[in-house]
Chain A
Amino acid sequence: DGGITQSPKYLFRKEGQNVTLSCEQNLNHDAMYWYRQDPGQGLRLIYYSQIVNDFQKGDIAEGYSVSREKKESFPLTVTSAQKNPTAFYLCASSMRWGGDTGELFFGEGSRLTVL
Chain B
Amino acid sequence: QKEVEQNSGPLSVPEGAIASLNCTYSDRGSQSFFWYRQYSGKSPELIMSIYSNGDKEDGRFTAQLNKASQYVSLLIRDSQPSDSATYLCAVRGGGYQKVTFGTGTKLQVIP
The residue among A42, A50, A104, A106 with the most chain B CB atoms within 10 A of its own CB is A42
Q: Could you mark each residue 83-104 of chain B with 1 if its beta carbon is under 8 Å from any beta carbon of chain A, else 0? A: 0000010101000111111111
The answer to the question of B62 belonging to the interface, with a C-beta cut-off of 8 Å to chain A, is: no
Please judge, given known A-B contacts A42-B88, A102-B92, A105-B46, whether A31 and B31 are in contact too, CB under 8 Å.
no
The answer to the question of B49 belonging to the interface, with a C-beta cut-off of 8 Å to chain A, is: yes
The answer to the question of B32 belonging to the interface, with a C-beta cut-off of 8 Å to chain A, is: yes
How many interface residues does chain A have, given as a range?
20 to 34
Interface set of A (CB-CB < 8 Å, partner B): 31, 33, 35, 41-45, 48, 50, 56, 58, 90, 94, 97-98, 100-109
Interface set of B (CB-CB < 8 Å, partner A): 6, 31-32, 34, 42-46, 49, 51, 88, 90, 92, 96-104
